[in-house]
Amino acid sequence: MATARRFSRLRQVTARSQCISIHFTLRRPASLAKTASRYAIFIETGSRAEERWCYHERLKHMNRFSAVVIIVLLAVIGFLAWMLMQKPASQPAQGSTSTPVVVTEPNPTPTTGKPPLSSKVKVTSPLPKATVARTFTVTGEAPGPWYFEASFPVQVRNPDGELLASTPAQAQGDWMTEAQVLFKATLTVYDYSGPATLILLKDNPSGMPENDDSVSFPIVIK
């Protein structure tokens, strides 16, 4: 009964460390059992009970603080990731273009930068702008790679590009060399007289356009 009277009045349990104060009023003995079971951890005497209370309260505060810090960090990381994904792709410098600028040199060899083989082809007859008969002979010299199987094509075309005559020029020596090799070809033009173009084509058995090369100049057929 003395214990019931004691808890029926206002009681205050205060931790010595000033962690927290608990106030409660128990008017009936039945409330004593319920409250005592709920706050059993606090209804202890001595410094150990107070220290335990402070420890649990601090632990709860630390857990809450840690949870808040983790949430804030996750939010910051998510925001930074979103900013990185939203960053626009770097734009090309002003005035730049995606199309490369190609500088064309006169008669270059694309792969080596050396002068093309056509620069080594020398025609001794006929000369440019010469007047020739309908049947005439072409002579000169060309480097060995200009030939294939000891020959290369020679053509005559009119100003409209129509083919007037065609024949292979034959090497006059060993063509499997890098040196100059003499050649000779005889052409006959039928039913035409006037300006024309004599064309000496590099023999290109591969058919690849990058291997094409030629030498041409105007003549007159009488």
**Residue 73 structure tokens:** 């960090």
Which residues are within 8 A (CB) of 163 and not within 5 positions of it... i.e. 6 or more apart? Answer: 155, 156, 157
pLDDT at 175: 94
* Strand pairing category for 122-125 and 131-132: unpaired
Dihedral in degrees, nearest 10, Cα atoms 133, 138, 140, 146: 150
The series of mean pLDDT values per 10 residues for the chain, 222 residues long, is 48 44 45 48 52 68 80 87 69 44 41 79 96 96 95 96 96 94 96 96 92 95 94
**DSSP assigned state of 126:** S
- pLDDT at 51 (0 to 100): 64
What does the pLDDT read at residue 3?
52
Residue type, 111: T
How far, in whole angstroms, is CA 25 from its chain's centroid? 77
What is residue 9's predicted lDDT score, i.e. its pLDDT?
47
Residues 6+ apart with CB under 8 A from 192: 134, 158, 164, 221
The pLDDT of residue 62 = 76
Against a cut of 0.75, is the pTM above it?
Answer: no
Please name which of 183, 185, 170 lies closest in space to residue 135, comparing C-alpha atoms: 185
Calpha distance 118→108 (Å, rounded):
10
Question: 155-175 burial by CB neighbour count: b if 16+ within 10 A, else e?
Answer: bbbeeeeeebbeebbebeeeb
What is the model's pLDDT at position 153? 97
Q: Which pLDDT score, from 0 to 100, does residue 2 have?
A: 52
